[in-house]
Structures are given as C-alpha cells and as structure tokens.
Amino acid sequence: MSAPTLPVPPPPPVSSVARALRPVLARLRLLRSVWQRWFLWVLLAVLVLALLVTVVWLAGRHEVEQAQTLLERDTADAVSDLRGGLQRNAQTLRASSAGVMDHDAWLARAAGLLREHREWLRLEWRDSALQPLAALDTPYRRRVFEDDGRGAEQPDVVAACANARKLGTPAYSPSHYVPSPQGGGLEAMELCVPIEGGVLVATYALREMLTELVAPTLTRGQEVSFVEPDGTRLVAVGAPRRIGTRVFTAQQVIDLPGSEMLLRADGWRAVPDLFPNMLTALVTAISIALVSVLVLLARDTRARQRVEHDLADALAFRKAMEDSVITGLRARDLQGRITYVNPAFCEMVGLSAEELMRSDVDAPYWPTELAHEYQRRQAVRMAGALPPREGFESVFMHRDGSRFPVLIFEAPLINAQGSQTGWMSAFIDISEQRRIEELSRATQERLQASARLATVGEMASLLSHELTQPLAAIASYASGSLNLLGTDGPVARVDQAEVAMAVRRIAEQADRAGQVIRSVHDFVRRRDRTREAVAPQALVDAVLPLIELQARKLGVQVEVALEPDLPRLLCDRTLVEQLLLNLARNGMQAMDMPGLDERVLRLRVAPVAPAPDGNAAADARRWVEFSVADGGCGISAAVEERLFTPFFTTRADGMGLGLSLCRTVVEQHGGALGFERLVPRGTVFRFTLPAA
Ligand code: ADP
C-alpha cells in the first residue's frame, strides 16, 4: 500500500539581502532600546537635579528676603523709638525751664538732667540774642567744648535756634564735627528749645544717641549708623562684620526739624546658608532621599541589565543546545497543541515548525492507519497519566509518507510557579538501531548454523564408526541369507524361517543406522525460529543419541537425572538442543585425558527453588535449571578470563564459538549461564530457562 503523499508548500521567498540585513537590524534595535533606556535615566537625573537646585535656591532666597524684611522692620522700629526718645528729651528740657529760674537753680537742674541723659554732651541756657547765660557739660566724659568757642555766633546753635524760632517748636542743627582738645573729636548735633526769654540748647553726641535711644537688640546683632543723605557715615555702633558673611542693609530717614539724617542698619548672615530653617532642611532631606532612591534605582537597573544579559546568554546557550542535539524535542500544552519543536524534530518528520504548531489535535506525523490509536493515547496522557520512565516505542510518518520507529520519553512540563502547563517529549529515531539489531540477529543465526555444521563435521568420523557396526551386521546377515538361499537348489522350509529372521535383523540394523543418521539430520536441519512449549525430557531425548555417540568413542559414561513433574519450557528448541550438546561435548572433551579412573558426565534437570529474597517478577515465573557436570581437567583462571570470548579455544581443532553462543542463547531466553569448579576435579555448567 503506497503511503499518502502530503502537499509540499514552496519555501517562503527570502531575499538574500534581507537575510544579510537581519542581524544588522537586530543590532540596531538593541542599540536603540539601550540608548532609549539610558536617555530616560539621564533625563530623569537632570530633572531631579534641576528641581533640587531650584528648591534650594528658592529656599535661600526666601530666607534672604525674610532677613531683609526683618531688618527693615527693626530699622523702622528703631527710627520711631529714636524720634520718640528725642521728642521726650525735648519735652523734658522744656519742662525743666518751668517756674522761676535763677542761674544756680538752672545749673542744679541741668546737672540732674545730664546725669539722666548720657546722650547729651552739654546743656546751655541762652538769652534771646543767644548769648550764653549758663552752661554745664556732661559728667560722663571729659570736657569737649571750650566756653569761648560757644558764643552767640556758634553757627550750628544759630541754625538750630533760627529754625526753632521759625517753627515755634524744638529744632535741630545738622550734625557737625567737634574736634576734641585731647585729639580726635566726635559728631554732635544741637537741639534748640525755645523757652520764655531765651532758649535752651542741648548738644547731642550722635554715638551716645545710638547707644541710648536705639534699642540694644538692634545694635547687638548688627551695625547701626547715622548716615548723611549724601551717604557720608557719621557714627556707627554694633558688632563688626564677620568675614564670609552677606550684608543686608536697611535705612530709614530720621526727619527732624532742621536736620535730616538716615539711620542705617547693616546685618549679616552666613551665606550660602543651606539649612536656614526647617523648610529648607526638609526640602534638602527629601531631595537627598530622592537622589538616593535614584542611585538605588540606577543600581537596580544595572543589576537587572546584568541579569537580562545573563538570561540572554543562557537562552542563546539553551537554543544552541536544542538546535545541536539529534534528539527531537516537542512541547505540548494541556490541550495537546504543539507549542514548541526543535530543528531535530522538524527534520525527523520533514515538516517546518510553523506547520507543526499550526496543526490541530491530530498531528501530521501520525501514520493515518494508527491515528485513532494515537488519539486515544494522547487523551490518556492529557488526562494526566504518567508515561513509563524508560520510554515507549511508537511509529511516526515522515512528510514523504515513509514510516519510522521512534523511542518516546515524556515528562510533565512544569512552569516556574510549579504548575503543569503541558508535556515535554523527547524522540529518538531508532530506525538505524533496528537495522543494526536485525543485521546482528542474522549474523548470529548464520554463526550458529556454522557452529552446528562444524559440530556435524566433527561427528562425521563418529558417524562412520557408528555406522560400520549396523552396516557390517547388515552385510553379514545378507551374505548369510544368500548362503542359506543357495544358488544350486531349492530352499528348505526351515531355511525359510532362518532367512526371514536374517532379513528382519537386516531391517532392524538398517533402522538403527537410519536413526543415527536421522538424529544428525534433525540436528543440522534448520528449523523455524519459534519459541514453543517443550518438555525438558524431549530436549534431552533429542540430543542424547548424539551425546552417546561421542561418549562411546571417548569411553565416557553418561548419567541423566530428570526430576519428576518438570514444567514445559518456553524456548527455541533447536538452539537449546545445540546448547545442551555443546556443554556435554565440552565436558566429555575435558575428561579426555590419560590417568582418569572414572569418566562420568552427569546431566541433571531440576526446577529452581525461588530465592528467599527474590523479587516479585522472578517469583511470578517458574524456572528450570539444567546442569552438566564433568570430572575433567577443570578451568584454570587464565581460561576463565576469556571463557566466553568468541574464538577462544584451547583445543587444536576447536572453533571457540561454543560457549559464547551458549551464553547468547540463554540470555535471549532471559536466563543465565554460569559455571562452578567441582571438588576434587571437574566443572559444572548450569543454565536456567523459563517455564512456559
Ligand atoms: P571449543 O569447544 O570449540 O574449544 P568452546 O567455546 O566450547 O569452544 O570452549 C572454549 C574453551 O573453554 C575450550 O577450549 C576449553 O578450554 C574450555 N572449556 C569449555 N568447557 C570446559 C569444561 N567443561 N572443562 C574444562 N574446560 C572447558
């Protein structure tokens, strides 16, 4: 029956250029994905950095603004304090002139005031023409003014009093420098308070004004100074500026009648101050955390990349391995659809991977006549039945329709989560193995036939010897009969009976000769190679005439012992007979040496007692043991080593095939062949055969 041929689709046209470009394109794609990933990371890092810098900068600016605002507020407060203080001082001065006033009384009052107000250098009482009436200097410092330098025409006093008269309120002179008689000098300012019949003039020391009238909280942290509108600094008090600090400046106009000055405060803070307050600290901490996370992420990505790389390597390795093995591999899902095949499998069945994976539940490599059985097998497998571990044999069909035997190993396909997702199968094409087995079987058979023929050759001489006896008997009976019959007269009645007896003897002898020849013929004739149930007795009976043939020649006595109730054996009769003959012949040949008192060959057949530790399989079958014992030369260690090697012999005319063939035959039947040394001499060979 010719196999159905499957339609062969033409291979898809793939231009050689496209094929050549494929690796280049794959490389480019890989490069692009790597580049994309790095670009995103760099972008993220830049953005985070920008955010960080902006936040820190904003926080710093906020802090600077806060410091500035605070300073301005403090300065404005200080100016209003100063104005208030000056106003109170002017009122105090005016109040001191109340009531009747003489020279001494004024001096006493002035002394009291000067003690209270350290900011005043001098108090003067002048008349309306500004002529001094009385004057007193502060007790807190050495005298600054010469009395004659403070006449009516003292320009600052004149200016202040002119203003005071014009406005009708206390007025001030612009600041002026008063050189000190002891060297150096100080900045001062005149206050003119108009009173009844004159004026009171108080001279302010600007430095003391700052220390006394401006709140000490302001002067402690920063430098506070009086500045003229043109920017000239008059006096300054407070802490000097530290190096590496940033200066904050705030100034306020002190608008006094007749005098204009600015109060200026210079504050400083360490810049850049990264942790000015909680906010910046918090922002910085978060930013540091963010950067740390970024670094960790980058590390993680690097580790991932390494793992990906390793994984790609492992995949490539696995693929190379799958592609290089000659074992076909196939994976199926739980519905029986093919999910994976390796190139070896595709080659085995002559179908492409796409065709195989496209195929339905019926696989295209199932021989049509067996598809039904395979479907059933697949259903059993999909139901979860475990296949035999040692694999099982099956037949697949190539795309060209040819069938070939395969050995299949199947195992459940378990995924990373430990659940079964299908079945994995490995296939070995065993056609070649089958061919070799067949070849070796044929060779073995030929070898056995040759061995048998060799045995026959050896027996030819025995045969001739054995046949001479009946032939001689036949000849003598024949000539005796002829004599009785005579040629020259009629045969007597008694003679007739004798002749009949002689002819019977002739027939008997001829039968005996025929038996001898038949037994040899039976042995040589190639019978069918089939196993059949044979009684052990029949096997022994078949070879016994041949054994005895040789035994007679060598003067050996043959003893046969068969135990009763032996089971029939399942065996190839011809081979087992040859086996028995071989062992018996070997035993007899071993005893073929001078000086032996008795030459006995013992052939025993007995059932094998089940071994106490025998496994269930062995016990299930019954076995029968054959043993052939001789009292011959025995087997030396050197001979034992090579005993079963083909063509090993110690005999000049031996072929050395006997024992190696014997072992093959026994093993083919599932039994075992071995030997033991006997005491005091000889060897026993034993082999087992299974009962039918
Ligand atoms: P062959 O009989 O042609 O020599 P065999 O394979 O039957 O080949 O035997 C190989 C050798 O094993 C023999 O030559 C002999 O030396 C030795 N041998 C076999 N059987 C016996 C035995 N019963 N006693 C002693 N030696 C034996």
CATH of residue 336: 3.30.450.20
DSSP string, 300-364: HHHHHHHHHHHHHHHHHHHHHHHHH-SSEEEEEETTS-EEEE-HHHHHHHT--HHHHHH--SS-T
Q: Whose CA is nearest to atom 19 of ligand 1?
A: 586
651 lines ligand 1 (CB under 6 A): yes
Q: Work out the pLDDT band at 536, boundaries 50, 70, 90.
A: very high
Q: Are residues 87 and 164 in the same domain?
A: yes
CA angle (536 as vertex; 530, 537 as ends), nearest 5:
120
Q: Are residues 420 and 439 in the same domain?
A: no
Is residue 455 one of the residues assigned to a domain? yes
Q: Are residues 413 and 453 in the same domain?
A: no
Is residue 417 one of the residues assigned to a domain? yes
Task: Report the pLDDT value the prediction gives residue 491, as an integer from 0 to 100.
Answer: 54
- 437-491 tens-digit pLDDT: 999 888 888 888 887 777 777 677 667 767 877 888 888 888 888 887 775 555 5
Task: Report the pLDDT value the prediction gives residue 287, as an integer from 0 to 100.
Answer: 80
| Domain tally, the chain | 4
CATH number of 106's domain: 3.30.450
Q: Work out the pLDDT band at 189, boundaries 50, 70, 90.
A: very high
420 vs 620, residue with greater confidence: 420
The yes-or-no verdict on residue 1 having pLDDT over 50 is no
The preferred substitution site among 659, 678, 681 for testing ligand 1, maximizing ligand atoms within 8 Å of CB, is 659
The preferred substitution site among 554, 585, 586, 683 for testing ligand 1, maximizing ligand atoms within 8 Å of CB, is 586
Last residue of a domain, one of 429, 462, 497: 429
- 622-667 tens-digit pLDDT: 899 999 999 999 999 999 999 998 888 998 878 788 898 888 889 8
The yes-or-no verdict on residue 12 having pLDDT over 50 is no
How far is the centre of ligand 1, averaged over its atoms, from the C-alpha of 440 (Å)? 24
Q: Are residues 345 and 438 in the same domain?
A: no
| Residue-number span of the structural domain to which 602 is assigned | 529-692
587 lines ligand 1 (CB under 6 A): yes
Residue 521: alpha-carbon gap to chain centroid: 72
Residue 484: alpha-carbon gap to chain centroid: 108
CATH number of 452's domain: 1.10.287
683 lines ligand 1 (CB under 6 A): yes
Which ligand 1 atom is the nearest neighbour of the CA of 630? 23
Is residue 565 one of the residues assigned to a domain? yes
Last residue of a domain, one of 481, 496, 526: 526
Q: Are residues 250 and 199 in the same domain?
A: yes
Q: Are residues 559 and 655 in the same domain?
A: yes
Last residue of a domain, one of 226, 243, 270: 270
CA distance 585 to 657: 13
How far is the centre of ligand 1, averaged over its atoms, from the C-alpha of 457 (Å)? 18
CA distance 285 to 290: 8
Is residue 160 one of the residues assigned to a domain? yes
Which ligand 1 atom is the nearest neighbour of the CA of 644? 6
Is residue 50 one of the residues assigned to a domain? no
Q: Are residues 232 and 356 in the same domain?
A: no
Q: Are residues 416 and 545 in the same domain?
A: no
Task: Report the pLDDT value the prediction gives residue 611, as an integer from 0 to 100.
Answer: 58
Which ligand 1 atom is the nearest neighbour of the CA of 675? 23
Is residue 129 one of the residues assigned to a domain? yes
Q: Are residues 329 and 371 in the same domain?
A: yes
Q: Are residues 116 and 265 in the same domain?
A: yes
Q: Are residues 585 and 680 in the same domain?
A: yes
Q: Are residues 136 and 175 in the same domain?
A: yes
Mean pLDDT of 404-433: 90
The yes-or-no verdict on residue 3 having pLDDT over 60 is no
Q: Residue 649 corresponds to which tokens in the numbers above?
A: 């012999």
CA distance 244 to 234: 26
How far is the centre of ligand 1, averaged over its atoms, from the C-alpha of 664 (Å)? 16
- 231-244 tens-digit pLDDT: 888 888 887 767 76
Q: Whose CA is nearest to atom 21 of ligand 1?
A: 586
- 311-354 tens-digit pLDDT: 999 999 988 988 888 899 999 888 888 999 999 999 999 999 88
Is residue 54 one of the residues assigned to a domain? no
Which ligand 1 atom is the nearest neighbour of the CA of 682? 24
656 lines ligand 1 (CB under 6 A): yes
Is residue 95 one of the residues assigned to a domain? yes
Q: Work out the pLDDT band at 584, boundaries 50, 70, 90.
A: very high
455 lines ligand 1 (CB under 6 A): no
Task: Report the pLDDT value the prediction gives residue 154, as an integer from 0 to 100.
Answer: 86
586 lines ligand 1 (CB under 6 A): yes
Mean pLDDT of 604-624: 69
